Structure 1
Amino acid sequence: MAYYDYKARNSRGELLQGTLEGADQAAVASYLLGTGATPIDIRPSSNESGAAPASLLERLMSPPVTSLDVQLFSRQMHTMLRANVPIMQGLKGLEDSASNKSFARVLRSLRAALDAGRELSAAMRDHPKVFSQYYVSMVQVGEMTGRLGAIFPRLHDYLQLDRRMQEQIKAALRYPKFVVFAIVGAIGVVSAFVIPQFAKIFMKANFELPFMTRMLIAASSFTLNYWQLMLAAAAAAAYLFRRWTGGKDGRYAWDKQKLKLPIAGPIILKGTMARFARSYALAEESGVPISRALSVVARTVDNAYIASAVEQMRDGVERGESLLRTATTTGVFMPRVLQMIGVGEETGEIGRLMSEIADMYEEDVEYELKTLVARIEPILIFFIGILVLILALGVFVPMWDMGQVQTRRVH
């Protein structure tokens, strides 16, 4: 399929021009005739994407698209669809008024794809860094059910909650990150400048050094002589880890292990349960069938281990089993979630109950994030104490011994 620039006249004689995707010029002409327009000129497009290309400097200078841009876009799309504004006209207005030039280019690409006869969800799928799998899936559900206008406000609320949680995580980890960087920096300074100077003094003293002092001097010497090798090894380890977790098996194993981490594990699990419940409630309220809703939810939990469990639930439901039984069989869902699923199936209000469980877990995660610093602080103090103890045993004890030897020599 290729892109073609066209000019045509409608039944009122008005000039129409744009870009369409088609097998050849004849296919584009046939499409235009089918819409009641008379083709005037059809020629291959100079830009395969159907949108005006951006210069390299423009792409570098433009800020990246943020979740706030997508959140605002969701609200604006709901307002326009509610006012019965044609989607092409609405996207054009949003493109012209967009303050983020990068997002304006995305909107221009969406318009070009729609102009070529593609669906909005298919056009969004071409921008995975802007629109998540869940976002695209829910837009596709709205297109299938004819409730696209009702999908966007729910996506707006979903993005708002997700962004608030991300901001809380960053705020909670700001202090621990600062302390860890300070510790690493202090170790680097001591290894590079302090210990080598003490080592020279100890060598001149000509007496047997304690084990801890010998270890510190050896570690300092190794760091100074092989720091390039250490950096290369750290970079290689980070690359291999990212590559391993980027694969299907590696990501599954790491996502499963993350749930078992001390302190962070329970928070991650509750956050994932909240995302699962919120996503399922949103799909349920949109009129999506259970099996389809579970397929959509599996793409948004952001944990391959939990996503696999959701897919098992979908397979069980398709076999005719109850949602509660399939959820219990997976062994990953918390008791409160299972209880709400069971009550929801009995009362037929599973969407409302899942929304309530999402609210509850989001409150739990918010509280635990606020208290995260208080729980991490004793661990940080413990490691700082160990560092001070090692320095004291390795540096100050031999200095004390040297002083004692000198005193005995004088007497």
Structure 2
Amino acid sequence: MPVFEYTALTASGKKLKGVIDADSLHSARQKIRNTGNYPVTIKETTAKAAGDKTSLLTRQIGQGIKQQEIHLATRQLATLLGAGIPLVPALNGLIEQTSNRSFKTVLAQIKDAVNEGNSLTMALTNHPRLFSKIYINMVRAGEASGSLDVVLDRLAEFGENQHAIRSRIKAALLYPLFMAIVGVLVLFLLITFIVPSITSVFEGTQQALPLPTIVLIAMSTILKQFWWVVLLIILGAVAAVHWYVATPAGRRHWDMLKLTMPGVRDLSIKTASARFSRTLASLLQSGVPLVSSLMIVRNIVDNVILAEQIREACEELEKGSSLSQFFRGGKWFPPMLVQMMAVGEQSGTLDKMLAKAADSYEKEVEAKILALTSMIEPVMILTMGVAVSFIVVSILLPIFEMNQLIK
């Protein structure tokens, strides 16, 4: 059934935009009028009208559609299917409940594709920027096994848990970031505006200034007259590092640095292990084959070194080796994870063992990040204290020397 985007006027003259499905343009116009609104413009947004459905979806995806909305819609769809409602009516229910206009259009197009005889998996593949490979493969496995509602429920839980972890980490980092910005601004104002008015007293004297005072005056002059040059240098350095990390060689060096740098190594490995375990467990629980699951997981560990090791694991599995046997010879994945893999393979509960490992590593990562953020605050206070002390000492030293000369 075609999908139409429309603009209408309410009885009070207020402008209204929305999405509606109908058999024809005339039916769409009639449906809008039946709601008590007057249609102004109606435009068909189905694949037939667009001529190129993929390009249309590409333009729409990501424009105001949040991941939380996808998780909520997944949960609602799982509930509707679990209650015995067929897929198309269930998608209709989602469209009616969704307030986001862009997401409503996407859902309507998915329903239209399913109505034409396509599977839900095929309909979702038209939206690669909105639905990840993990999402699509789990839905494919759910359709193949006849347990789509269970898989969708698991997908919603997986997405909600990942979002909750990211939200807690962002919240923990927010206060230190705010403190850092305020500290830098305070120091900048002190050095560029307060210090010059105080050090100008020393300009008329013939007294040789102490080295800290000379350094402070030089810093003040540079920041006051050439602050834009300093800003450009900082931005240029950040852009250069970002460009280098975006190159294959730079990304490899950066990922290797994260895995070997003291203080960062443990956090990076445990973060990757948590993401690896959680995603692989979710895919296996949904019925996706192990090798296919690993090929998907290697794209989300966010580290090319680990991705290469996972790819090698896939090759060894196809030769008859076990997953734990391969990773036992590596040096990046923690021994506890490898041992839980071995237990899971022996007992036939690999997915459950990986889920338990993910629970453990996610808690460790969150605790470690919270510990690091709690250490940032005293370090920042100490840094600010040292900087302010340097400014105060640099100003007081010449004053003390002047007093000594007067005596």
With normalisation by structure 2, the TM-score equals 0.79
Matched, 1:352 2:352: yes
How far apart are the structure 1 equivalents of 2:293 and 2:367?
Answer: 29
How far apart are the structure 1 equivalents of 2:330 and 2:287?
Answer: 25
Alpha-carbon displacement from aligned partner over 1:140-163 (angstroms, at most 9, x marks no partner): 333454443322111111112111
Matched, 1:132 2:115: no
Measure how far apart 1:359 and its partner are. Answer: 1.4
Is the Cα contact below 8 Å between 2:328 and 2:335 reproduced in 1?
A: no
How far apart are the structure 1 equivalents of 2:24 and 2:115?
Answer: 7
Measure how far apart 1:298 and its partner are. Answer: 1.6
Query: What are the residue-to-residue correspondences of 1:217-232 with 2, within 5 Å?
Result: 217-232=217-232
How far apart are the structure 1 equivalents of 2:253 and 2:146?
Answer: 39
How far apart are the structure 1 equivalents of 2:312 and 2:196?
Answer: 59
Alpha-carbon displacement from aligned partner over 1:200-231 (angstroms, at most 9, x marks no partner): 22211222122222222222222222222333
How far apart are the structure 1 equivalents of 2:231 and 2:251?
Answer: 25
How far apart are the structure 2 equivalents of 1:248 and 1:122?
Answer: 32
Matched, 1:285 2:285: yes
CA 1:217 to 1:44, structure 2 compared with 1: closer, same or farther past 3 Å?
closer
The amino acid that maps onto 2:360 is M
How far apart are the structure 2 equivalents of 1:153 and 1:48?
Answer: 34
How far apart are the structure 1 equivalents of 2:111 and 2:241?
Answer: 39
Partner residue in 1 for 2:394: 394
Q: 1:371 aligns to what SS in structure 2?
A: helix
Partner residue in 1 for 2:179: 179
CA 1:257 to 1:145, structure 2 compared with 1: closer, same or farther past 3 Å?
farther
Partner residue in 1 for 2:37: none
Matched, 1:159 2:159: yes
CA 1:164 to 1:146, structure 2 compared with 1: closer, same or farther past 3 Å?
same
Measure how far apart 1:130 and its partner are. Answer: 3.2
Partner residue in 1 for 2:371: 371
Partner residue in 2 for 1:323: 323
Query: What are the residue-to-residue correspondences of 1:267-278 with 2, within 5 Å?
Result: 267-278=267-278
Is the Cα contact below 8 Å between 1:168 and 1:369 reproduced in 2?
A: no
Q: 1:187 aligns to what SS in structure 2?
A: helix
Identify unmatched segments of 5+ residues in structure 2.
Answer: 4-21, 26-45
Is the Cα contact below 8 Å between 2:74 and 2:155 reproduced in 1?
A: yes
Is the Cα contact below 8 Å between 2:282 and 2:351 reproduced in 1?
A: yes
Partner residue in 2 for 1:90: 90
The amino acid that maps onto 1:104 is K
Bigger Cα displacement from structure 2, 196-205 vs 369-378: 369-378
Is the Cα contact below 8 Å between 2:283 and 2:293 reproduced in 1?
A: yes
Matched, 1:47 2:54: no
Identify unmatched segments of 5+ residues in structure 1.
Answer: 6-15, 20-42
How far apart are the structure 2 equivalents of 1:163 and 1:268?
Answer: 19
Aligned length: 365
Q: 2:209 aligns to what SS in structure 1?
A: coil
CA 1:244 to 1:263, structure 2 compared with 1: closer, same or farther past 3 Å?
same
Bigger Cα displacement from structure 2, 350-359 vs 229-238: 229-238
Query: What are the residue-to-residue correspondences of 1:27-106 with 2, within 5 Å?
Result: 45-48=48-51, 64-106=64-106
CA 1:253 to 1:119, structure 2 compared with 1: closer, same or farther past 3 Å?
farther
How far apart are the structure 2 equivalents of 1:345 and 1:187?
Answer: 58
Partner residue in 2 for 1:24: none
How far apart are the structure 2 equivalents of 1:362 and 1:202?
Answer: 58
Measure how far apart 1:189 and its partner are. Answer: 0.3
The amino acid that maps onto 2:404 is Q
The amino acid that maps onto 2:101 is K
Matched, 1:207 2:210: no
The amino acid that maps onto 2:342 is G
How far apart are the structure 2 equivalents of 1:68 and 1:294?
Answer: 26
Alpha-carbon displacement from aligned partner over 1:20-54 (angstroms, at most 9, x marks no partner): xxxxxxxxxxxxxxxxxxxxxxx994423559x89
How far apart are the structure 2 equivalents of 1:259 and 1:398?
Answer: 49
The amino acid that maps onto 2:396 is F
Identity in percent: 29
Measure how far apart 1:94 and its partner are. Answer: 1.1
Partner residue in 1 for 2:301: 301
CA 1:17 to 1:190, structure 2 compared with 1: closer, same or farther past 3 Å?
same
With normalisation by structure 1, the TM-score equals 0.78
Partner residue in 2 for 1:13: none
Bigger Cα displacement from structure 2, 318-327 vs 146-155: 146-155
Measure how far apart 1:341 and its partner are. Answer: 1.2
How far apart are the structure 1 equivalents of 2:119 and 2:249?
Answer: 33
The amino acid that maps onto 1:327 is F
Partner residue in 1 for 2:34: none
Partner residue in 2 for 1:149: 149
Is the Cα contact below 8 Å between 1:49 and 1:109 reproduced in 2?
A: no
The amino acid that maps onto 1:219 is M
The amino acid that maps onto 2:253 is A
